[in-house]
Structure 1
Amino acid sequence: MFERAEDTSVCVAIVEAVSTVTGTEPTRLDPLYGVVDTDALERLVESGGTDTEITFSFEGCRITVFGDGGVVVTDPN
């Protein structure tokens, strides 16, 4: 699980985590907004619903975002 700093948006944390897992520069990744509504995702985390989680694929990785802002990235390999 990747911990994000309070001043980092969940979307930035996802991109950074996927970059780390895949070994790809963040600027070389496809835009996150192409696979998920990033505004809705940010609102979900801001609401603080701890029972909430959303899972989607991005850059071949499985991403799970929890309502508390936690992010899990599963390597495609």
Structure 2
Amino acid sequence: MSDAEFDLLDELYFVQHYSYLQEVLGWEDQLILTTLDLLYQKGMIKCLNEPDQERFDQVDLFKEGENLYYLATKKGLMAHNAI
């Protein structure tokens, strides 16, 4: 797990909107979206339309990512805590 993946997962113990990640991490959009996509492809985060409405379809984070909410999955939390 890269430092960026670790730092982003650290913010996703609770449901957070993309704008929160921008504010807290202070990263460029491209880095946030790329890191979110890596974590999503590994099954370490899930995407939500609203804080209580999970997406079950395949999400294109580079097109929709700025409008979504995110939450670490059990797999993501286990990997984050193993370090």
Same fold (TM over 0.5): no
What TM-score, normalized to structure 1? 0.29
Question: TM (normalized to structure 2)?
Answer: 0.27
